[in-house]
Homo-oligomer: A and B are copies of this chain.
Amino acid sequence: MKRPTPGISAAERIRNSARELFYNNGIRGVGVEEIVQNAGVTKPSLYRAYESKDGLAAVYLDEFYHSCRTRFEEAEADFPDDPRGQILAYFDGMAERASRPAYRGCGLTNAILEFPDRDHPVRREAARLKQAMADWIASRVRLLDVRDPEALTAGLVLLMEGVFVAGQAFAPPGPSAHAGTVARLLLDV
Contact = CB atoms under 8 A, between A and B. Distances in A.
B158 A113 contact: no
Nearest to A160: B162
A8 to B, nearest CB: 27
Interface string A86-129: 00000000000000000011000110111011000000000100
Interface residues of A, number: 51
A61 interface: no
24 contacts: A25-B116, A26-B113, A28-B28, A28-B114, A109-B169, A112-B168, A113-B114, A113-B168, A150-B178, A151-B182, A151-B185, A152-B185, A154-B174, A154-B178, A154-B182, A155-B175, A157-B162, A157-B170, A158-B175, A159-B162, A165-B165, A182-B186, A185-B185, A185-B186
Interface of A: 24-26, 28-29, 104-105, 109-110, 112-114, 116-117, 127, 130-131, 134, 148, 150-155, 157-166, 168-171, 174-179, 181-182, 185-186, 188-189
Given A112-B168, A158-B175, 6 more contacts: A25-B117, A112-B169, A127-B169, A153-B175, A161-B162, A162-B162
